[in-house]
Each structure stands twice: as C-alpha cells, then as structure tokens.
C-alpha cells in the first residue's frame, strides 16, 4: 500500500491577524502554539468556554480534551490521502461511515476524513501508514501514539524538530476580497479553513472538499435550525459554562420587531426582566447550567461549524436559496454561499445561479 497526502484544512488566505484585531477575538487563533489546523481545533474548544483569550497558554488543552472524550472539537480539521495498490479504503469506509472514499480512474482511492475519524481508525490499528501525515498536521490530537510528545501536567509543546511540519498545499488563485469576514448587524460569518483537494472531478470535489465557518451574533433560534444538519460538526458556546451574569450576551432582534416600536419595547422589556431573574437566581446559588433554563431563543450565541461540500450543498439548497427559509439562517446561508462559490465555483455554480436569480439585490 502506498499513501500520499493530497490535501488538508488550510487557513483562509483572507484572514490577516492584524486586520482581525477589531473583530471579536478572531486574531487569537494565531496565539496558538501549534500548526494552524490545530490552532483552529483549540479555538473551537475555547469558543465553547469563552476562553479564547487563553489561546496558546495551556499546551495540553487538546490532549486533555481528547483524553476526556470531548472530541467534537477535533472534527473541524480534514485530511485527504490517496491510496494506491490496495483496496483497504473500502474497509475503512465500512468501519467508519464518516469517511469519504472515492475510486479514481487509475484504480487509486481518495480518502477524506476529519481528525477524529482518523483517530478512530488509528486506535483500531487501521490506516497507520497515514499517521505521519496526521501527526504533522495535528500532533496533539495523536499524542497517545507519539512518545516524543511530552506528557504530565508540566508538559510543553513538542520541539519543532520532533514532528515535521505538514507539507504545504498548492496555493489557489482566489479572490480573497470575497473571503473576508462578513458583518451585517450582529451577524458575522468567518471562513476559518477549507480543504480543496484540487481534483478535476466536480463530483469528487463535492465529497472531498470541506469548509469550517465561525458564526457569531446569531440567535439560539438560528442554531437550533443549523444543528439539524446532521452530517456536520459543531462546537457551540456553552450556556452551562458561560454565564449571562457577566453581560456576555445580548438578544438578537428580528427585523419585524425593529419595524414595530411597540413590539420592540415589549422585547426589550422581556429581555431586561429575564436578565434580572437570571442574576437573582445566580445570587441565590443556582448554577449556570440551571439558570440558563430561563433564556429565550433570542439569546445570542457563537458556533464553529464544519461540513464537507456535499453537506454544505444540501444546507444551501434548504437555507440559502429557498425563500421559505427563516430570515436569519437564510442570510447566514447566503454569506456562506458567497464564500464557498469563491473557493469551489464548479461545485456551487448551480446554487449561485439560483441565488442570483431569486435574490438579485443581495448579489
């Protein structure tokens, strides 16, 4: 069996740390002490706890999350390999349905999976020839297999020489102006990373390409719809660990309320009342995980979301280009589409055509 690395999750080339300093806490991704893919993993985990200001301060953050079984955060990074001289990938697909396996014209196999799926395969003793690539991309995710990654509470990040850096992927000719974070009111959509295998077959791109987005300033009503898309990975800010008592959230206001002063006043009154009740419960010793039961669908949240292009395609048909979609998730989906069309126009051309036809004012 011969295995070569074809692609892995790359940084959005439009993200410049200097330009992001005024945008929430996005610039802290570069405070991580590892590869960019692994920094995205840590960032996703810290979004859950609203601790992004601590990026890079705890070298064992990822190691400990994996050890505890909190592995959702490692699903946001994808690696694609090409396997020659073996039909073993068919077995991999049967053992973990979250991998994507495609046979190419020359008989070789393309295999794409997120780092959690690869971890599952390696733990079964399967696909170990791919491990050096994955260790280079996300060394802490695979710490249990690497003697050269320090252990113990006083651990430090491995020396650069211990694990070779991941090989550079070919740069893509992209219009980066279309990939910058987009803000509309409280909503901000940021493309954190994407995988573009650079294969000519659009059908294969559909299954082996992927993208990771960070959504901010959206309501819990919106994310309730978002997480119904099951072939995806989510890391959402936790109301169990993050509290309203620090003034960390506000209410997302629907346009219908903004156009109706009476309705807006009622919403403001309700939100202020809920905040007061929440704070009173906290002072009474009620834990955040219980006090959150008061919070409404309007409560603002943040979430890191990853899907392959096939799953994003399904999401976009339902949420971005359908006028029946709810206004908040529809606009979120449209901003996602504008970025994905830039990254993979062959895959999302039909979505783009329908979008331009139905929503000409938005394009």
> What dihedral do alpha carbons 337, 338, 340, 343 form, nearest 10°?
170
Decide if 306 contacts 233 (C-beta within 8 A): yes
Q: What are phi and psi of 234, to 5 degrees?
A: -130, 140
* Positive or negative: CA dihedral 244, 248, 251, 252: negative
Helices 327-343/345-358 angle, 10° precision: 140
Q: How far is CA 320 from the centre of its chain?
A: 18
319 catalytic per annotation: yes
Question: Tokens representing 151?
Answer: 């252990």
Distance from C-alpha of 250 to C-alpha of 218, rounded to nearest angstrom: 10
| Per annotation, catalytic residue among 65, 302, 319, 331 | 319
What 3 state SS string does 133-154 have?
Answer: HHHHHCCCCCHHHCCCCCCCCC
Residues forming the active site = 319
């Amino acid at each position: 069996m011969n295995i070569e690395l074809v692609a892995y999750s790359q940084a959005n080339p439009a993200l410049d740390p200097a330009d992001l300093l005024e945008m929430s806490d996005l610039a802290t991704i570069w405070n991580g002490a590892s590869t960019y893919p692994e920094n995205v993993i840590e960032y996703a985990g810290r979004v859950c706890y609203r601790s992004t200001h601590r990026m890079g301060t705890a070298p064992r953050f990822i190691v400990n999350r994996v050890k505890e079984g909190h592995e959702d955060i490692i699903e946001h990074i994808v690696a694609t390999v090409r396997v020659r001289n073996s039909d073993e990938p068919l077995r991999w697909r049967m053992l973990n349905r979250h991998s994507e396996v495609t046979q190419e014209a020359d008989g070789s196999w393309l295999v794409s999976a997120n780092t959690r799926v690869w971890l599952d395969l390696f733990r079964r003793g399967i696909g170990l020839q791919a491990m050096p690539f994955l260790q280079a991309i996300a060394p802490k995710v695979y710490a249990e297999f690497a003697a050269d990654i320090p252990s113990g509470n006083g651990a430090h990040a491995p020396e650069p020489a211990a694990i070779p850096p991941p090989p550079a992927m070919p740069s893509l000719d992209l219009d980066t102006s279309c990939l910058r974070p987009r803000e509309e009111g409280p909503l901000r959509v940021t493309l954190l990373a994407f995988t573009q295998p650079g294969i000519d077959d659009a059908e294969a791109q559909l299954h082996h390409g992927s993208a990771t987005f960070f959504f901010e300033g959206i309501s819990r009503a919106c994310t309730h719809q978002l997480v119904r898309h099951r072939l995806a990975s989510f890391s959402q800010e936790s109301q169990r660990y993050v509290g309203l008592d620090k003034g960390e959230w506000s209410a997302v206001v629907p346009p219908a309320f903004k156009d109706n002063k009476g309705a807006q006043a009622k919403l403001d009154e309700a939100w202020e009342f809920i905040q007061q009740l929440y704070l009173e419960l906290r002072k009474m010793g009620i834990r955040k995980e219980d006090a959150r039961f008061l919070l409404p669908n309007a409560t603002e949240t943040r979430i890191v979301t990853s899907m392959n292009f096939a799953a994003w395609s399904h999401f976009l048909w339902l949420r971005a280009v359908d006028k029946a979609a709810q206004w908040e998730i529809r606009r979120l989906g449209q901003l996602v589409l504008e970025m994905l069309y830039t990254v993979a126009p062959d895959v999302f051309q039909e979505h783009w055509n329908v979008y331009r036809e139905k929503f000409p004012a938005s394009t």
